[in-house]
Amino acid sequence: AKDAGRNCLYFFDPAMQQALSARAQMESELRVALQQEQLLLYYQPQVDAAGVLTGAEALVRWQHPQRGLVAPAEFIPVAEASGLILPLGSWVLQQACKQLSVWAKTPGLSDLSISVNISAHQFKQPGFADEVLALVKHFQLVPQRLKLELTESLLIDDMAFSIERMRFLKQQGVGFALDDFGTGYSSLAYIKQLPLDQLKIDRCFIDGLPEDPNDAAITRIIISLANELNLWVVAEGVETEAQRDFLQAIQCPGYQGYWFGRPVPAAEFRQQALNRKQE
């Protein structure tokens, strides 16, 4: 065609145009969602090796008026690209802290912790540490019960900064988990420098258990490494009894996955947690 050499042609590629406007559409809807409180948190149980409930991971959902319940994989990337991750992340953090303060006053749930996913952009905000500490104070939380989940790529991007920010929060008692462990590029030398409390073994390694010899070896090594470094470990995505049994046999301390419970709204989590206590 006569316009083939022109860059602007790309913008009129109908497929791309459609993708762009779908993104722009979602971005503006996400703005509305934040204003109109269409977001909510689901909570997924975390248990120890004896099966005792220790806490929950807070996972954001979007109750969209037309699309129904939207999973974070669909809108977190849009939120990241648009900067909306900042108000979204603040909302999640505040909501999780509020929930933690409710549990702290609920007999049977009072010693549970909550893990919150923190995006890179959010963690690097100048006011982030103050924001966390203000929430701890406002909701009168035991800071050790708040665990911030960070990813390797986020931390390694600027190690000196990450270490300093983590140390500062850790001095105040706030805990840190390294999320999706094993999927990034980080060397063990890096891990050693970080003031972490917990490693979360990525689901991709748990998937192949107990049959896959590579996954079994990797899982074993991560658990003994964590042991040496005095870190708690949570195996993510435990879906079957066989996976649970294997992990128990190699002394994995913490567990999360559909086998123990799916992410559910706070009211349902509360009900299940109280029933579990009575068993």
Q: Nearer Cβ to ligand C2E, position 16 or 260?
A: 260
Give the one residue of 198, 205, 257, 269 binding ligand C2E; rule: CB under 6 A.
Answer: 257
**Contacting ligand C2E within 173-212 (CB under 6 A):** 179-180, 203
CB 75 within 8 A of CB 39: no
Q: Nearer Cβ to ligand C2E, position 143 or 263?
A: 263
Alpha helices in 212-252 (DSSP H): 213-228, 241-249
The stretch near Ca ion (CB under 5 A) out of 16-24, 141-149, 191-199, 237-245 is 141-149
The stretch near ligand C2E (CB under 6 A) out of 211-219, 244-252, 255-263, 268-276 is 255-263
Nearest 10 degrees: CA dihedral of 217, 219, 223, 225? 60
Work out how close the CB of 1 gets to ligand C2E at its nearest, in angstroms, rounded to a whole number. 42
Give the one residue of 26, 33, 78, 92 binding ligand C2E; rule: CB under 6 A.
Answer: 92
Distance CA 232, CA 170 (A): 15
Work out how close the CB of 203 gets to Ca ion at its nearest, in angstroms, rounded to a whole number. 7
**How many other CB atoms are found less than 10 A from the CB of residue 251?**
12
Q: Is 55 an interacting residue with respect to ligand C2E (CB under 6 A)?
A: no
Residue with tokens 């975390």, as numbered in its chain = 46
**How many other CB atoms are found less than 10 A from the CB of residue 225?**
16
**Helix, strand counts (H, E) of the chain:** 12, 10
Q: Which residues bind ligand C2E (CB under 6 A)?
A: 44, 59-60, 71-73, 76, 89, 92, 117, 119, 179-180, 203, 237-239, 256-258, 263
